[in-house]
Amino acid sequence: MHPSTRKLRFALLDLPVLLFVISAGLGVLPAYDRRLAWEPLAVLLGGGLLYLAVSRGAVREINTLRIARGAAILGGLAGFFFITQVGHYLPEEKVEAIARISEWIARLFPAAGSWQPFPNSMATFLEGLFFASAGLFFAEKPKGWRAAAGVSAGVMALALVLSMSRGAWLAAGLAGLVWLALYFRPARWGLAAFGLGLAALVAFVIWKQDIHALDRVPVVNRTVAPLFIRPDRLEVYQGSVALIEDAPFSGIGLGGQFAMNYARYVLLIQVPYLTYSHNLYLEAWLEQGLLGFASLLAILAALIWSAARQLRCGRDRLFEGGWVGLLAFYLHGVTDARPYVDLWCWVPFFLLLGLHAAWLLRAEAAARPRARSFALAGAGAALAAVFILTTPRMISLLNANLACLHQARAELGADYSAAEQADFDRGARFRFSRSIQADSNQRTAHLRLGLILEGDERFDAAVAELEAAYSADPGSATVQKALGLAYVWTGRLEESRALLKDVRGIVEELNHWGWWWGTQNRVTQAANAYRVSLLLDSNQPAIQQALDSLPVPAQP
């Protein structure tokens, strides 16, 4: 061990990893159902301990090799299990030829137990370990261990192929290209060409103003396009951003809080539709708040900075394999967020972070941040936060954020008593009003207060709030739908038709609303729902019959 290592108290990754784990603890507070938060909290705390143990235990080079070997064996065993089992269940066939290979392999191996890991989750678990094992293969001197590392990497590569996870393929391909670019000029040209191609595709979509234009680009329409133009993918990204805008400081809480928040406050429906945001960065912000999102990016920044610094001081294939594996994890996060769904996917992330920190602690070129540096940075950040958060707009946003959490507990929190829910409801109304007082153009406050007033069946007052929200943010799909529905309930049918005509599935929703209002003896609202449904689709004889059967005067 280098003498200076004994004096080192912090690694560059320590602070962002610590903040990421702390943000998980804070993520329990905004959750409307905290029972769902305890398991992910325990896993993320365990991940922090794993990082600490590995980063300090692997400072000696021999321990780094031992832990890297263990990681390769872990990945190889997981990959072998998946290879032999995925053909028994194949949740979704995406590539017919690969599905046939999986089914053929499954004939050679019996089904083993009831655990059937989701392919995208297994791909997330393996992608980082694959690169770490490849680095180990190049770094190992004993032939036996080198062969073992190569076999493990090969097994994981086959498992990644059989996962049929396009997001993992793209992430692994890009990460591998980055690694190759360190050694081969053609790979650098390939990386540059990819960057130019990506910029061209983005410009093409902006020019066409339609993501579905990618379907008309050869090759892209069979590879990259399916990652983004699935029926729900871009919509769920936009909806997730809307939820973040509602609660930007706290998020909506750790664990399974997304489904009902997304359904009730983005889609404006009463049943869950999607369970997570399909994007690692959006999900981190939603579950762990602004601190979680910022610390996740800070970890990435520390990885890139330390990797670049280390490369200037010499090549270390084992070190490179580790950070390239973490880069693959981050790249895959652009198209999915499986660690928040299958919590075991966090294990390689914290394991490889620990190995990376150990290499930094051992290397003479490593950054040596001191406690004083952390204290000065923290003090500066605190002063900046105090200055920013005391502006009227930020006070309005803080009140809206808190009000949204109160509203979710009042409307979604099944474990609260009626009295507690009433208190939360009063708190939400009060803070939304305070938010509007501080900033009259606060979209979230007007929108959510309008939804509350709709629930009170004070439809005219709801329209006034929702029109204010629409004026503040006319591009919001949620606001547009909310105002359109409010116009339905108040009989402004043509205005509602204009706002609702492009909402997917709205005819079926209006028909359901018509039935539900009928069960509540609110025939005016039921009739209005049916009328707008027929304005949008006149070929519905059953709905016309239901409308004719209602005891309301027919409209001219």
Phi then psi for residue 137, to 5 deg, are -60, -45
Count the alpha carbons within 13 Å of 64 in the hemisphere toward its beta carbon. Answer: 28
Distance separating alpha carbons of residues 56 and 63, to the nearest angstrom: 10
CATH 1.25.40.10 is right for the domain spanning 390-497: yes
Instruction: List the single range of 236-245, 374-383, 513-522 with lowest mean pLDDT.
Output: 374-383
pLDDT at 215 over 90: no
Q: Which pLDDT does position 230 carry in this prediction?
A: 58
Question: pLDDT tens, 425-436?
Answer: 999 999 999 999
Element (H, E) at 17: helix 14-26
Question: pLDDT tens, 156-207?
Answer: 999 999 999 999 999 999 999 999 999 998 888 988 888 888 787 777 766 7
Question: What's the one-letter identity of residue 505?
Answer: G
Q: For the chain, what is the mean pLDDT?
A: 89
Report percent pLDDT > 90 for the chain: 74
Three-state DSSP class for residue 69: helix
Q: Which pLDDT does position 365 carry in this prediction?
A: 42
Question: Domain-by-domain residue ranges, the chain?
Answer: 3-182+233-375, 390-497, 505-556
Q: Which pLDDT does position 191 carry in this prediction?
A: 86
Report percent pLDDT > 70 for the chain: 87
pLDDT at 8 over 60: no
Which residues fall within 8 angstroms of residue 343, CB to CB, at 6 or more apart?
A: 39, 40, 43
Which residues fall within 8 angstroms of residue 498, CB to CB, at 6 or more apart?
A: 484
Q: Which pLDDT does position 366 carry in this prediction?
A: 44
Regarding predicted confidence, which is higher, 144 or 94?
Answer: 144
